[in-house]
Amino acid sequence: MRQLNTILLIDDDETTNYLNHRLLSRLDAASDIRVVMNGEEALNYLEHAFASVEGYPRPDLIFVDIKMSVMDGFEFLEEYQKFTPEQKSNTVLLMLTSSASFYDLEKLKAFPDVRRHYSKPLAEADVREIFQEYF
């Protein structure tokens, strides 16, 4: 499994962030793993990263939760679509959810940037599958 430069975790659940960060670190998945607590913080981070602001490395992989306070995953996706294809070109975007409701999964189909969804927290097999498929 090759190491990525940066992974961005977007989730307001501290326990999930801790577990995902710990797993990704143990697997040496990225040299830099960033955590933000909601879609608004994520958009701010990405605006800086896509503008090549120092200290904001462009993420190779983004995991975004569906259900969050302040700005949920779907609101984030609405705004994420406004970035140019060039800005998003080298980034894989995946959804994380604790409740894979039919409604949420159907709604995800409207966002072509989302490659797939996974249940949270991530399992080692999920991470290995993601790296095999996308990297």
Domain limits, the chain: 4-134
Q: What are phi and psi of 73, to 5 degrees?
A: -60, -40
Per residue in 34-90, pLDDT (tens digit) is 999 999 999 999 999 999 999 999 999 999 999 898 999 999 999 999 999 999 999
Q: Provide the pLDDT confidence category of residue 9 given band limits of 50, 70 and 90.
A: very high
Second CATH level (architecture) for the domain 4-134: 3-Layer(aba) Sandwich (3.40)
- The whole-angstrom separation of Cα 16 and Cα 13 is 5
Whats the size of the chain, residue-wise? 135
Per residue in 96-129, pLDDT (tens digit) is 988 667 888 888 889 999 999 999 999 999 999 9
